Every structure is written in C-alpha cells, then in structure tokens.
A and B are shown apart, each in its own frame.
Chain A
C-alpha cells in the first residue's frame, strides 16, 4: 500500500509542470509569510501631554 503511494507521488513529481506549480506555490507561501510577519505597519507616535495653555 505504502509502496504504491510512494510510486504514485514519485510519478506525479516527475512531471515538470506539477513540480513547477508546486515550487510556485512554495514561493508564494514564502512571500505570504513575509507579508504576514512584516506587513503590518506601525504608524503610532509617542504620546505626549499637551500643556500649551
């Protein structure tokens, strides 16, 4: 059973189009990860108490 699974996956991966699509998804996932990690901006400024009365 395991052997037939491995054989089918190897056969699918041998296809250059499948391999290309998988790598594209892999790179997209990296870009998405970077966006998730560093995409959020911080536009806050330090608070200060206005005392110009």
Chain B
C-alpha cells in the first residue's frame, strides 16, 4: 500500500478567519470612535485644532447634532474676541452654538473639499460660510495658503463624491490642478483629477476603474482620521475636558450687545485714523503702511475680474446645492476707510459686493455682506479684514436668525 501524500496545510480558511476578526475589530473600533466623537463634540465645538480642519470625523459629528451650527471660514474664526460666536453662544442661550471650522488661508475650494468629504450627513443641514473679501482681490489665493489647508482625504472625497455631478467635479478638478504641489505625493488623486479635468473619451472609464482603489485609500484615511481624533479626545480627557456642556437659556439683547461691543472697540482702536485695533496697527500695519493713493480703481478691478475665487465660490454653492445643504453666505466688509486712503473708491469696491451677491442669488442662497458697514471704522480690526467686537455681534445676530429660520 502506497502512503498517502502529505497534504499542504490549508491557508485559505485561517486567512479568511483572520480577515473576519480584523474586520470585526475595525467595525467595533469605528463604533467606539463615532460614540466618543458624538459624546464630546459639544465640548470640542469652540476649540480649534488641526485635526478638526484636516479630518472629517468631527465636522461630520457636528452636522449630526441638531443644536450645532458649523461655520466655515478662515483666520477671523481663530482670533479670540469677547464677542466671538463661540463666546456669545457658549452656553446655548438661544438653543445652539457654532462650530468654527477653518484657519488662515482657507478659501472656497478648501470648504468645498471639506464638505464633499462629509457627504450624506450634510443633507438638509444648515451651514454658514464666512468669506474674506481679500480672497477676491487677485488672480488666485497663494499656493502656500492652499497647501497649508489641503487635506488628501478631503481632496479624494471630492474627486470621488457620489453626491456631486461630473461637471462640478470636472471644474473642481481643473482648479485643484492649479496647485500641483499638493498632488505630488497623491498618485491616485492626481490621476483622478487629471482624468476628470480632461474631455478625452477614455477619461470616464479610466476614472471608474480607479474608483475601487480610491475608495479603499479614502477608507484607510478615514480610519486614520478617527484614530487621530480619538487620541486627541483622550488627551483632552486627561486635561479634564467635560462632555457635559452647561446650558443657560435666555434672551439675548442684541441692541445692548451692539452698544457694548462698539464702545469697547472704539476704546481699543484710537491710535490710528482707520479704526484698526491699536495693537494690530502698531505691530503689523503701521510698519508697512503703503503710501496714500498707491493703488487705483483700475488695478483693484483688474484683480477682481481675474479672481478665480469667484469660480470657486460658484462651485462651492453649486456643490452644496447638489448635496442638499442649506448654506448662508456671510462676508466681512472691506475696510473702506483704509481702501479710500489707498486710492480705491467705494464705487470700485462695490464690484466685490455685487459679484458675490449675484453668485449667491443665482444659487438661491441667502447672504449678508455687510456692505453698509464698508466705511464703518469699527467693524474690522485690520487691513486683512478680521472682525472686530462690533463686527462679531452683527455676525452673531445673523447666525442666530439663520439657525432659527428668521433670516429673509
């Protein structure tokens, strides 16, 4: 009798068991991360830290809560102020608080990527967008500021969003290609945006071939985002971050707040003719103050007409519409007194307000541009257009009206 050949050990079943166990661990970890993020999002709402901007976990958690209103913007959100929305709405006086997302250099294209990454959770939700007029005064925002806010996860999710139309993704891809450095180490994303941007016959089939690997990469990035977020929350727990946020319902006296804030602002902006915050004037503006009439209406308007930021704003509002979001456009006004000094007239400045208003109207989005405060010396604290105490009270009132559906 010949001996039976020795059978090689079966690897398939152990490998499948190992993969199944790993999948169970991942699902469990995800459920834990979502639970922790939802538990702590109210406590984290006013805090600004990199993972909140660069990741998606906390932004999505904010949209899941009915008493949180996310506001996307840039540096104005990071400057501490006693009338900042996070301070005024800290204890939910009218039933909600804001969640600021963004930092210096954030612009419309970054906001579109941020929200495309959130996807389904956005449907039917409100969001406020805070624009800086300065974004629209030149051909396009600097590549350093774009790169400083770019997130591979967000870029990938925009490129492969199932909630956005092909035409919108094509236009967004073309804009993303204007910043090649951010795509250098992202081969899948780079190839995807190149395919989307071209009109070649092969572009769509090739794009769909890329879909599975892109989704796998996005899934890994999402897991990493949850990991980083949970780690951050654990660090904050050690510093006694309490998930229970106190609430104190009351009626806010907006007229009184406006009076207080204006009086405080006037006291802190009395060493210069433009109404800029004293410290900003002394440290940042006075040392490099341009000569009077150093600019012209023509040069200003040329910048406005060339600004790709208008394209990005159009894409952002169109994208939000496609995703079923209810946005509000806010813009800090131009510091008119300073621009008068530079030689840019009120008439020329109107081109900015009119263009933004037109884009908002075309997309059926409510907007408040505060153009009636263009020459209000105490609304803005510096030439970079950051909100003053008074400016914040106006913003807060509009946010309150928007949240409660009172904005017309």
Contact = CB atoms under 8 A, between A and B. Distances in A.
Asked if A pairs with B, the answer is yes
A48 B13 contact: no
B11 A46 contact: no
Given A39-B227, A40-B224, A48 B144 contact: yes
Contacts of A45: 50, 54, 147-151
A12 interface: no
B280 interface: yes
A23 B11 contact: yes
Contact of A27 (B14, B151, B228, B383): B14
Interface string A27-52: 11011000000111101111110101
A40 B224 CA distance: 6
A18 to B, nearest CB: 11
A44 B50 contact: yes
A38 B220 CA distance: 10
Nearest to B149: A45
A27 B18 contact: yes
Q: Classify chain A: how many residues form its interface, as a range.
A: 20 to 34
B168 interface: no
Contacts of A47: 148
A46 B14 contact: no
Contacts of A38: 220
A11 to B, nearest CB: 15
Interface string B373-394: 0000000001110000000000
Contacts of B227: 39-41
A38 B144 CA distance: 27
A28 B221 CA distance: 21
Contacts of A41: 221, 224-225, 227-228
Contacts of A50: 75, 104-105, 145
Interface string B146-179: 0111110100000000000000000000000000
Nearest to B11: A23
B144 A28 contact: no
B224 A39 contact: yes
A38 B224 CA distance: 10
B280 to A, nearest CB: 7
B15 interface: yes
Nearest to A28: B18
A43 B228 contact: yes
Contacts of B14: 20-21, 23-24, 26-27
B4 interface: no
A52 B150 contact: no
A31 B220 CA distance: 14
- Of B144, B284, B288, most buried by chain A (CB within 10 Å of CB) is B144
A48 B224 contact: no
Contact of A46 (B10, B21, B75, B147): B147
Nearest to A13: B9
A50 B77 CA distance: 14
- Closest 4 A-B residue pairs measured CB to CB? A41-B224, A27-B18, A23-B14, A52-B384
Given A27-B15, A53-B288, 14 more contacts: A19-B9, A20-B10, A20-B17, A21-B14, A23-B9, A24-B14, A28-B22, A41-B225, A43-B55, A45-B149, A45-B150, A46-B147, A48-B144, A53-B382
Interface of B: 9-11, 13-15, 17-19, 21-22, 50-51, 54-55, 75, 104-105, 132, 134, 142, 144-145, 147-151, 153, 220-221, 223-225, 227-228, 280, 284-285, 288, 382-384
21 contacts: A23-B11, A24-B14, A24-B18, A27-B15, A27-B19, A28-B18, A28-B22, A31-B18, A31-B19, A39-B227, A40-B227, A41-B225, A41-B227, A43-B50, A43-B153, A44-B54, A45-B147, A45-B149, A50-B145, A52-B134, A53-B288
